[in-house]
Amino acid sequence: METKKLNVKLNIWRQKSSNSVGSFVKYAVQVSPDASFLEMLDELNNTLEVKNEEAVHFESDCREGICGTCGLVINGRPHGPLAKIATCQLHMRNFKDGETIWVEPFRAKAFPVIKDLMVDRSGFDTILQAGGYISVNTGGTPDGNMIPISKEVSSLSMDAAACIGCGACVAACKNASAMLFVSAKVSQYALLPQGQPERYRRVERMVKVMDELGFGSCTNTYACEAECPKGISVTNIARMNRDFVIAKVKSKTVEV
């Protein structure tokens, strides 16, 4: 038996470039409730191309909630109405027949719009290049495996490393803060013995670049944690803040 299709109305943000003025454009689509949100956008684009109209530009890659490229704001929420999923994991059955859906890009000064729903999130890459790695010699794989690490510590590190860098935390924050992302990338190394030699230099460098890129400050509203598709905890922010204070004491290069 064929599944009854949903009829939904879309208000999608269209913007030719970062320097142009954008606006919402209305579309009507009929789609299977079993289709993912991105598949629905694919179907819309197929229809637009048949009409010789320009397709809606949006990002996606793995479509499995792993890569973090598919971030959209759907009805005012990053990644849509469900908790702890990326946009690509959202299905149309979570919407009602006849519902109006508003779709727009992540909004942040540090995430300028490239086109339509695509934003430039290369700022995250710049932050990681500043210190999101281990450069000291930690030995070979056998050496690393011989270092005793408690289950609690390894679990906390793995939880932080689960961050996919999608930017939902920035989009959800009223200040467009990247603190949750940066603290997750800081914590995944700060918790492990291999990350200790560069621990305070790492947090110093990454926070400095984060501020230079124009990300806002954290005011502890917890909106970032609520919208994070991987459930990254704000306790990582507290850990990063503690490390940054210690870095101020240890390093004369940190501006007070």
Per-residue pLDDT of the chain (256 residues), as tens digits, is 567 899 999 999 999 998 999 999 999 999 999 999 999 999 999 999 999 999 999 999 999 999 999 999 999 999 999 999 999 999 999 999 999 999 999 999 999 999 999 999 999 999 999 999 998 877 776 776 788 899 999 999 999 999 999 999 999 999 999 999 999 999 999 999 989 999 999 999 999 999 999 999 999 999 999 999 999 999 999 999 999 999 999 876 545 4
Question: Are residues 153 and 72 part of one domain?
Answer: no
- For residue 256, being part of any structural domain is answered with no
* 188 burial level (CB within 10 Å; 0-12, 13-18, 19+): buried
Give residue 178's pLDDT. Answer: 98
Question: Are residues 244 and 128 part of one domain?
Answer: yes
- Cα-Cα end-to-end distance for the chain: 67
Write out the residue range of the structural domain in which residue 161 sits.
121-250
- For residue 161, being part of any structural domain is answered with yes
Distance CA 22, CA 250 (A): 47
- Domain-ending residue, one of 85, 115, 145: 115
Question: Are residues 189 and 109 part of one domain?
Answer: no
- For residue 238, being part of any structural domain is answered with yes
Question: Are residues 129 and 91 part of one domain?
Answer: no
For residue 14, give the CATH number of its domain. 3.10.20.30
* Global confidence as pTM: 0.92
Question: Are residues 139 and 89 part of one domain?
Answer: no
Question: Are residues 91 and 21 part of one domain?
Answer: yes
- For residue 255, being part of any structural domain is answered with no
- Domain-ending residue, one of 98, 115, 132: 115
Enter the tokens of residue 26: 């209305």
- For residue 186, being part of any structural domain is answered with yes
Which residue bears the tokens 């989009």? 171
Give residue 56's pLDDT. Answer: 98
User: How many structural domains are present in the chain?
Assistant: 2
Question: Are residues 238 and 200 part of one domain?
Answer: yes
- Domain-ending residue, one of 66, 88, 115: 115
Give residue 253's pLDDT. Answer: 54
- For residue 32, being part of any structural domain is answered with yes
Distance CA 8, CA 203 (A): 46
Give residue 251's pLDDT. Answer: 75
- For residue 173, being part of any structural domain is answered with yes
